[in-house]
Structure 1
Amino acid sequence: MSKPEVLKLFKSMIRESKKISSYNFSSFREYAIRRIRDGFKENKILSNPKEVQIAIQKAQSDLDIIKRQVIVGQLYSAEKLVIEHHLKN
């Protein structure tokens, strides 16, 4: 996988994580974004092609998990809490 493709994967993961919008899951959203950034920084030094491929496969698997979490959150969305209305204003 080329650097632009890895960057695209990184951006996709961040974009999907930001779709987790429920107030109750905001800490999960922040954790996911932090772990994505940390994971890509840690793996930046990998030079062995096999290790790089394993890291990319894990990231793609994690992206699928994030996408499922977003879908589940949308399926079971609840009314906004009072605090959510005040946070956006």
Structure 2
Amino acid sequence: MAAPVTRAEVLKIYKTMLRESSKFSFYNYRMYAVRRVKDAFREQKAVSDTSEIQQHLLEAHRFLDIIKRQVI
């Protein structure tokens, strides 16, 4: 069984995603990415099941990888 996800881990990925999203050179892309990150985390705010949180965290890491590839 995996270790429970801490609040610090979630905040770290959230801040990293916002930071990477702000690197888009085009305003519309940048604002879309920032809005999508914020909306996704807001939607999942009430989730309390550990396995579901881990699943959402994996999705966040995948999305972060996509953002990093697009920003280059």
- The question of a shared fold, defined as TM-score above 0.5 by the shorter chain, is answered with yes
Q: Deviations over 1:11-41 (max 9, x none)?
A: 00000011111xxx32121111001001111
- Aligned positions of 1:1-89 closer than 5 A: 1-21=5-25, 25-71=26-72
Once residues 27 and 59 of structure 2 are traced to their aligned partners in structure 1, the CA distance between those partners, rounded to angstroms, is 23
Q: Which has more radius of gyration?
A: 1
More helix, by proportion: 1
Once residues 51 and 2 of structure 1 are traced to their aligned partners in structure 2, the CA distance between those partners, rounded to angstroms, is 13
Percent identical among aligned pairs is 50
User: TM-score when scaled to structure 2?
Assistant: 0.88
List, as ranges, runs of 4+ consecutive aligned residues in structure 1 with deviation greater than 4 Å.
none
Deviation at 1:70, TM superposition (A): 0.8
Once residues 9 and 56 of structure 2 are traced to their aligned partners in structure 1, the CA distance between those partners, rounded to angstroms, is 13
Query: Aligned residues, how many?
Result: 68
Structure 2 stretches of 5 or more lacking a match? none
Q: What secondary structure does 1:38 align onto?
A: helix
